[in-house]
Amino acid sequence: MTFDSQAYAEQLEAKVTRLRDLLAPFDAPEPSVFDSPLQNFRLRAEFRLWREAGERHYAMFSQDDKRTPILIEEFPIASLRINQLMPQLKAAWQASSALSHKLFQVEFLTTLAGDAMITLCYHRPLDEHWHAAATQLAADLNVSVIGRSKGKREVLGLDYVVEKLEVGGRTFSYRQPEGAFTQPNGTVNQKMLNWAYEALGDRTDDLLELYCGNGNFTLPLATRVRKVLATEISKTSVNAALSNLSENAVDNVTLVRLSAEELTEALNEVRPFRRLQGIDLKSYEFGSVFVDPPRAGMDPDTCELTRRFDNILYISCNPETLAANIAQLHDTHRITRCALFDQFPWTHHMESGVLLTRR
């Protein structure tokens, strides 16, 4: 790839046109557009290893051909830290059979703040020779190292990295665990957080958040409202979110490990949930709901639930399912703000955001 700025501008405009066309039936305003750096924007990367001529190489595969490896020496879309670590790690495994024996996959996780973690995946048990070599590797590269083999995980250092993002003039600290979802493009994520912060505005009522993950949006949005009820089904993400709330001294959030579908049942009084014991749902004065669902979008019942709120702040990684959800809500809510966040430059993927307000 040449990473030509003109080619990028054309691709970005094609995404804007696609989003504009999808939202045209709903009289959406012109989207605000948040671009990405052309290179070194991706904070995480995963590589298979491919053995050729007696050496292991970083490898990836195209969507159309899962058998022919594309050998990689550098990865320009990944962060500078990942590109710095790649040759150093390769030299380390080439020099150590304890590190290279049956090593089949490598994962990097970095942050804008400079933190880094490497996960090494093996088709064999990890022994004391691996432990000694990996301990030295962690010290030499100044990273945390995690070893994974079937049913086992060994952590040398921390099993998370720490990101720091500035939103609304305040710096928030985020614990990002190994294996959990994190936004891949930190620069655009920070732009996305600031857009959501501004779109929600200062309020005197409460916020319901569905699919809260590690608290990526929860932390800044909690500073805009009286209190927040947030839900997330992943135990790893819930634990990270609780740590992030504590670390940032955000004390007006109640976090419950429920799916969006389960919370819908609870709010509709279909059935009680033990995990809601001690939480008085009727004490909340919800004025807004924030959703950041998976690619499938909101299921019809959850989408119907959001109709109850005056304001629906929606971040989407799939504009087609976003449009489908808006179609269900369009008779009661209108789009008052719209944005495109280019989380994934050089691909057709994009993140988008809308603020829907009651008619």
Looking at the predicted structure, is the pLDDT value of residue 264 above 90?
A: no
Q: At what angle do helices 319-329 and 5-23 cross, to 10 degrees?
A: 20
- CA separation for the pair 82, 79 (Å, rounded): 5
The answer to whether 6 and 13 have CB atoms below 8 angstroms apart is: no
Q: Domains plus CATH for the chain?
A: 5-38+183-358 (3.40.50.150), 44-161 (2.40.50.1070)
Residue 201 makes CB contacts below 8 A (sequence gap 6+) with 224
The distance of Cα 50 from the centroid of its chain, to the nearest Å, equals 28
Give the residue from 184, 171, 125, 131 showing the smallest Cα distance to 152. Answer: 125
Residue 339's SS3 state is strand
Radius of gyration of the CA atoms of the chain, in A: 22
Threshold 0.75, pTM exceeds: yes
- Mean pLDDT throughout 313-326? 97
Give the residue from 253, 212, 262, 201 showing the smallest Cα distance to 234. Answer: 212
Q: What are 56-92's pLDDT values in tens digits?
A: 999 999 888 888 999 999 999 999 999 999 999 999 9
- CA separation for the pair 260, 264 (Å, rounded): 6
Q: What are the angstrom distances between the C-alpha of 299 and each of 15, 149, 257, 294, 319?
A: 25, 36, 18, 10, 15
Active-site residue, selected from the candidate residues 74, 317, 320, 338: 317
Q: How confident is the model at residue 1 (pLDDT cuts 50, 70, 90)?
A: low
Q: What are 218-258's pLDDT values in tens digits?
A: 999 999 999 999 999 999 899 999 999 999 999 999 999 99
Give the residue from 181, 262, 191 showing the smallest Cα distance to 229. Answer: 262
The answer to whether 340 and 349 have CB atoms below 8 angstroms apart is: no
Residue 338 bears catalytic tag: no
Active-site residue, selected from the candidate residues 163, 209, 262, 351: 351
Task: Give me 250's structure tokens.
Answer: 């955000």
Residue 173's SS3 state is strand
pLDDT above 70 coverage of the chain, percent: 100
The answer to whether 134 and 187 have CB atoms below 8 angstroms apart is: no
Residue 198 bears catalytic tag: no
Q: Using the Cα atoms of residue 94, residue 96, residue 102 and residue 106 in order, give the sign of their dihedral.
A: negative
Q: What are 170-219's pLDDT values in tens digits?
A: 999 999 999 888 999 999 999 999 999 999 999 999 999 999 999 999 99
C-beta atoms surrounding 203 within 10 Å: 15
